[in-house]
Amino acid sequence: MNRETPLLARYAEGLFWMARYLERVENLARLLDVTQTFESPGRETESWMAMIRINADEEGFAKTGLAVTADNVKRFYLTDRTNPTGIPASLEAARTNARTLRPLISTEMWMQMNVFHRDMLAIQEDELQGDKLSRLCSRIKEGVQAHTGITEGTFFRDQGWDFYQLGRLIERADQTTRLLDIRYHLLVPGGAEERLAAELTQWGGVLRAAAGYHAFRRVAPAGFTPADVVSFLLHDNSFPRSVALCVEMMEEHLGKLRSRYGLRGTVSALERVEELRAGLRGRPVEKIIAGGLHNFLDGVQRDLIILAAEIGTAFFRDWRPLAEGQMQSQSQA
C-alpha cells in the first residue's frame, strides 16, 4: 500500500500549470479591483493603461484595435475570450489542464472547477460597471479560493502536490511584483505633503488588493512610509503573498522533490531559487527603490520565468516534442 507511485511528466506539468492559471485568475481580479479604486476623475484612462502595462499586454491590447478606456480594458480581461492573458482564457486553460488531470485530482476539485468555469463564461456586460465590478472581482477571487481550499482538503499529497504548489508560488510571486509595480505607472501630481498622503492612500489600495492591509498595520512602524509597504510585500517572512515567503516555499517544495521522491534535476532550479533569495535578502529596500523599483521587479520577474523554464526542462519536457502547440501556449509566462 505504501508503494511510491510514479508521476507522469505530463501530469506534473498539468498540475503546475493548472495552479498557475488559477493563481493568475485570482490576481487579475485583485488587480482589476485595485485599478478601479485608483481611478481618479478625469484620469481614468491612465490607471487602466497601467493595468495593461503591468501585465505587459500593450501589444495584445493594441491588436484589439480599441481605445484604452475603462470599459475596453475591463472587457479585455473579463469577457474577451480571445485574449490569452484574460480571465476567460486563463480559466479555460486551467480547466483543460484539470481535464487531463481528472484521473488524479479529486472529484470535488473537478466539480468546483466546472461550476466556476461555467459561471465565469456567463459574465454579463453590466457586471463590469460601477460597484458591480468589485463584487464580480470578489466572486472571482472566491472561486479560486474555493478551489484552493478544496485542493488543500482533498488532493493527495504525493509529488503532484509539490508541482502544483510550485506553479502556484511562482505565479503568486510574479503577480505580487506586478501589483507592486502598479505604483510605478501612476504618478501623483501636487506638492510633497499632498503627494505623500495620496501615495499612502494608493499603497493602502495595493495592500488591500493583496489582502495584506491589516497584516501590514500589525508589523508596520508608526509613521510608515511607502518604502515600508514595498519591504512588506517583498521581504516579509510571514505574509503569504510576499515574494520572499513564496520563494522560501518554492525551495521547500523543490527540496522535498529531491529528498523524498529522489528526483534528480532539481539542482539548477534550486540554484535559481537561491539566487532569487539572495537578490531579495541582500538588498535593503531603500537601495532597491533608489536603484529603481521597476527595474528591480522586472529582474525578479525574469528570474521567475527562468526558474519556471528550468523546472519545465528538468521534469516536463520529456513527455512530448517541444514543437507542439500546447507547450508553447503554456510556456508563456
Q: Which of residues 52-91 bind other proteins (CB under 8 A)?
A: none
Residue 177 interacts with other proteins (CB under 8 A): yes or no: no
Whole-Å CA distances, 291 to 173, 194, 249, 325: 20, 24, 27, 39
* Among residues 45, 53, 60, 110, the one that binds other proteins under rule CB under 8 A: 110
Looking at the Cβ atoms of 55 and 96, the one nearer to other proteins is 96
* Among residues 99, 139, 256, 277, the one that binds other proteins under rule CB under 8 A: 99
Q: Which stretch binds other proteins (CB under 8 A): 110-118, 145-153, 224-232, 269-277?
A: 110-118
Closest CA to 53 of 196, 220, 207, 183: 183
Residue 290 interacts with other proteins (CB under 8 A): yes or no: no
Looking at the Cβ atoms of 45 and 313, the one nearer to other proteins is 313
d(CA 254, CA 203): 33
Residue 263 interacts with other proteins (CB under 8 A): yes or no: yes
Residue 9 interacts with other proteins (CB under 8 A): yes or no: yes
Cβ 10 vs Cβ 312: under 8 Å: no
Q: Which stretch binds other proteins (CB under 8 A): 2-10, 148-156, 229-237, 274-282?
A: 2-10
Residue 114 interacts with other proteins (CB under 8 A): yes or no: yes
Q: Which stretch binds other proteins (CB under 8 A): 32-40, 48-56, 235-243, 257-265?
A: 257-265
Question: Quick one: cell of 227?
Answer: 518604502
Residue 219 interacts with other proteins (CB under 8 A): yes or no: no
CB 14 to other proteins: min, Å:
10
Amino acid identity for residue 189 in this structure: P
Cβ 14 vs Cβ 96: under 8 Å: no
CB 304 to other proteins: min, Å:
21
Residue 17 interacts with other proteins (CB under 8 A): yes or no: no
Closest CA to 69 of 49, 55, 42, 86: 49
Residue 258 interacts with other proteins (CB under 8 A): yes or no: no
Residue 16 interacts with other proteins (CB under 8 A): yes or no: no
Residue 159 interacts with other proteins (CB under 8 A): yes or no: yes
d(CA 159, CA 163): 7
Whole-Å CA distances, 333 to 84, 89, 163, 202, 233: 11, 14, 16, 27, 21
Looking at the Cβ atoms of 3 and 218, the one nearer to other proteins is 3
**Which contacts (CB < 8 Å, 24+ apart) does range 95-103 have?**
97/14, 97/15, 97/17, 97/18, 97/21, 98/14, 98/18, 100/10, 100/11, 100/14, 101/11, 101/14, 101/15, 101/18
Residue 270 interacts with other proteins (CB under 8 A): yes or no: no
Cβ 93 vs Cβ 83: under 8 Å: no
Looking at the Cβ atoms of 139 and 317, the one nearer to other proteins is 317
Residues that bind other proteins (CB under 8 A): 6-12, 96, 99-100, 102-103, 107, 110-111, 114-115, 159, 163, 257, 261-264, 315, 318-320
